[in-house]
Chain A
Amino acid sequence: MMKKTVSLMFAALLGCVLAVSAHAQLVVEIDDGNDNPTPVAVVPFDWSGSGVLAEDVSAIISADLRRSGLIAPVPRDDMLSFPKTPEQVSFRDWRMLGTEYVVTGRMQPQANGYLLSFDLVNIFGQRKMFTKQVTGGANQLRDIAHRAADEIFEAITGIRGAFGTQMVYVQETQRGGQPSYALMLSDIDGARARQIRRFSAPVMSPSWSPNGQEVAYVSFETGRPAIFRENLRTGARQQLTNFKGLNSSPTFSPDGSKLAMVLSKDGNPEIYVLDLNSGRFTRMTRHFSIDTEPNWMPDGKSLVFTSDRGGKPQIYQLTLATGQVDRLTFDGDYNARPRVSPDGKTLVMVHRSRGVFTIATMDIVSGRMRVLTETRLDESPSIAPNGAMLMYATKRGNKGILAAVSLDAGVKYSLPSQQGNVREPAWSPYFD
């Protein structure tokens, strides 16, 4: 009887969620999961307030955990009961289902928002692992859910969760027969997409500042490419470059004080570093070939970049103190747009093998390369701040879509846009 009432409430809740996701710009589709994900039941949370909550918090947590590929949420229909507290958890019932962990939770209203108390119960160990609390404002139900998912994920896998992070990407749509470009900001699950700025000329190469407050990007709005930085909170914007030729590929240094970029004012594309405090530009490469797509090593002491100085695009490392350049990739005839994992050990890149452009990783020490994706025209990989997954752009039919893959290639999901072409995802840093 009890269950029935809750289920009914659920149907109402679910209806709400579906209505919301119909407005979302990007919708998650799981393509491939890990072989042995941990079964975890996130039981529908108790709600002691009046009316129906605008978001189904436990469903958002389940969706977060599922996207990680390491956890298999137990479907609600399979649950024999909906316990509200760890004391109500029947270890025997859940063991029969093969569930390894159960999450119970209680949502309650508080001044201008909500309080979630949630518990993680280990079924096989027959013990409560923790009870934690998350609070949030009236419009922060999704943030509360992501925060709780981070805690649950880390307790089970030992990996810091990145469910509360965001991404910036480029969206191209047709407006009155002309292409229109927008810089978009959304949660990392594609929800709550909003436009940062709209452009009538191309915009490209968005890149986050390490504190998560700014993005740098390239806009053609002045008639030629120029680098801008924009504060996401205040909307304040500054044009940083207006040189003749290319002004492209901005990336913030790990301490946020510098911006590496590409300028071709000397006649061909060279890597420059702009000191954001002094405004001084320092030329870092001197070669007649194309040098582009710089990205910082986590220690800030060297840059990796793409160059065709060897005849084909390959990835090189530039030590800033000495100017020494070392080639890093030797496998394949097209390796470009490198990004470095947060631990500095792995390179991800666009790699061409047998004429197909895929995303590949390379262990920097051993040089061992591994292809992660099997779609075509894959580009613009951007790594999560926990180093577990990366987001990239690919094509489905003639449509540009975003997709994600874990760095061990075990998990894949895509985020097709309901509107226009989307590309160049940039995964945010942690916000705390």
Chain B
Amino acid sequence: MFKSVKTGLGLACVLAVTAGCSSTDTDDSANQQMAQTPPPVVEETTATETAVPLDNVVYFDFDQSLLKPSTRELLIKHADRMRGAAGTVRLEGHADELGTREYNLALGERRANAVRDFLVLQGVNAANLEVISYGEERPAQEGSSESARAMNRRVVIN
């Protein structure tokens, strides 16, 4: 069960990484990072278990850490897959560029904590969830457009 989850997440990660490096496929560090993520081998699983990779990013409103209703549905699916599974999942909190860096670090943590608390309520073992905040230091998208900022106010489930 958990294996397939990891595969799903792994695939999502690899996709994210590939999307992240725009043109340089030969780049060393990018390859290194890809090497660290679990290889996206298709496991021999039953039809019901071949879950579609779940989206692993949830988004927030400006200066908010409240989970949006759409987010809750996604997190419930994540919780279903995580429950009873071993291994640690990292919840990485992020903020947009607006506001101060240290406050945003705290805001990123608050967002990741909101996701953690929700997952725990769904029965996920808290000991398996690690929260880390990057604040605005690792934007998913550069730039100051509202769409870029919306993409950066996020928690990544890794």
Query: Is A377 an interface position by the 8 A CB rule?
Result: yes
Q: A202-B137, A220-B137 are in contact. Are A357 and B29 (CB under 8 A)?
A: no
Residues of B within 8 A of A66 (CB): none
Query: Is A422 an interface position by the 8 A CB rule?
Result: no
B28 to chain A, nearest CB (A): 6
- Contacting pair B103 A377 (CB below 8 A): no
* B-facing residues in A394-432 (Cβ within 8 Å): 395, 398, 423-424
Query: Is B72 an interface position by the 8 A CB rule?
Result: no
- Taken together as a complex, chains A and B put the C-alpha atoms of A395 and B138 apart, in Å, by 17
- Taken together as a complex, chains A and B put the C-alpha atoms of A288 and B51 apart, in Å, by 39
- Contacting pair B24 A176 (CB below 8 A): yes
Per-residue interface assignment for chain B, residues 132 to 153, with 1 indicating a CB less than 8 Å from any chain A CB and 0 otherwise: 1111011000111000000000
Of B6-14, B78-86, B104-112, the stretch lying at the interface with chain A is: B104-112
* A-facing residues in B42-87 (Cβ within 8 Å): none
Residues of B within 8 A of A224 (CB): 132
Residues of B within 8 A of A290 (CB): 103, 106-107, 110
- Contacting pair A176 B29 (CB below 8 A): yes
Total B residues in contact with A, Cβ cutoff 8 Å? 31
- Contacting pair B138 A249 (CB below 8 A): no
- Contacting pair A377 B106 (CB below 8 A): no
- Contacting pair A246 B109 (CB below 8 A): yes
Total A residues in contact with B, Cβ cutoff 8 Å? 38
Residues of A within 8 A of B144 (CB): 377, 395, 398
Residues of B within 8 A of A279 (CB): none
- Taken together as a complex, chains A and B put the C-alpha atoms of A223 and B88 apart, in Å, by 14
* B-facing residues in A136-194 (Cβ within 8 Å): 176-179
Q: How many A-B residue pairs have CB under 8 A?
A: 96
Per-residue interface assignment for chain B, residues 15 to 44, with 1 indicating a CB less than 8 Å from any chain A CB and 0 otherwise: 000000111100111100000000000000
- Contacting pair A204 B142 (CB below 8 A): no
Query: Is A33 an interface position by the 8 A CB rule?
Result: no
Query: Is B98 an interface position by the 8 A CB rule?
Result: yes
A397 to chain B, nearest CB (A): 9
- Taken together as a complex, chains A and B put the C-alpha atoms of A357 and B113 apart, in Å, by 27
* B-facing residues in A286-312 (Cβ within 8 Å): 290, 292-293, 306
Query: Is A229 an interface position by the 8 A CB rule?
Result: no
- Contacting pair B21 A177 (CB below 8 A): yes
- Contacting pair A336 B105 (CB below 8 A): no
Residue in contact with B100 in the complex, picked from A225, A264, A350, A395, CB distance below 8 Å:
A350
- Taken together as a complex, chains A and B put the C-alpha atoms of A268 and B22 apart, in Å, by 37
* B-facing residues in A237-274 (Cβ within 8 Å): 245-246, 248-249, 262, 264, 268-269
- Contacting pair B27 A424 (CB below 8 A): no
Query: Is B99 an interface position by the 8 A CB rule?
Result: yes
- Contacting pair A249 B29 (CB below 8 A): no
B102 to chain A, nearest CB (A): 5
- Contacting pair A377 B102 (CB below 8 A): no
Residues of A within 8 A of B131 (CB): 245
- Contacting pair B101 A306 (CB below 8 A): no
- Taken together as a complex, chains A and B put the C-alpha atoms of A204 and B138 apart, in Å, by 12
Q: A176-B29, A178-B30, A246-B133 are in contact. Are A357 and B102 (CB under 8 A)?
A: no
Query: Is A334 an interface position by the 8 A CB rule?
Result: yes
Residues of A within 8 A of B103 (CB): 290, 292-293, 306, 313, 336-337
A257 to chain B, nearest CB (A): 23
- Contacting pair A398 B143 (CB below 8 A): yes
Q: A204-B137, A290-B107 are in contact. Are A248 and B30 (CB under 8 A)?
A: no
Residues of B within 8 A of A248 (CB): 102, 105-106
- Taken together as a complex, chains A and B put the C-alpha atoms of A290 and B106 apart, in Å, by 7
B9 to chain A, nearest CB (A): 18
Residues of B within 8 A of A179 (CB): 138
Residues of B within 8 A of A223 (CB): 132
The list of the 8 closest CB pairs from A to B, nearest first, reads A202-B137, A337-B100, A290-B106, A177-B27, A336-B100, A177-B24, A178-B29, A269-B106
Task: Show the binding face of B for A, using Cβ within 8 Å.
Answer: 21-24, 27-30, 97-103, 105-107, 109-110, 113, 131-135, 137-138, 142-144
**15 contacting pairs across A/B (C-beta < 8 A):** A177-B23, A177-B27, A178-B29, A204-B101, A220-B137, A225-B132, A246-B105, A246-B109, A269-B106, A336-B100, A337-B100, A337-B102, A357-B98, A377-B98, A423-B101
Known A248-B105, A249-B102, A395-B144; further 11 A-B contacts with Cβ < 8 A: A177-B21, A177-B24, A200-B29, A246-B109, A290-B110, A292-B105, A292-B106, A313-B103, A337-B101, A350-B100, A377-B98
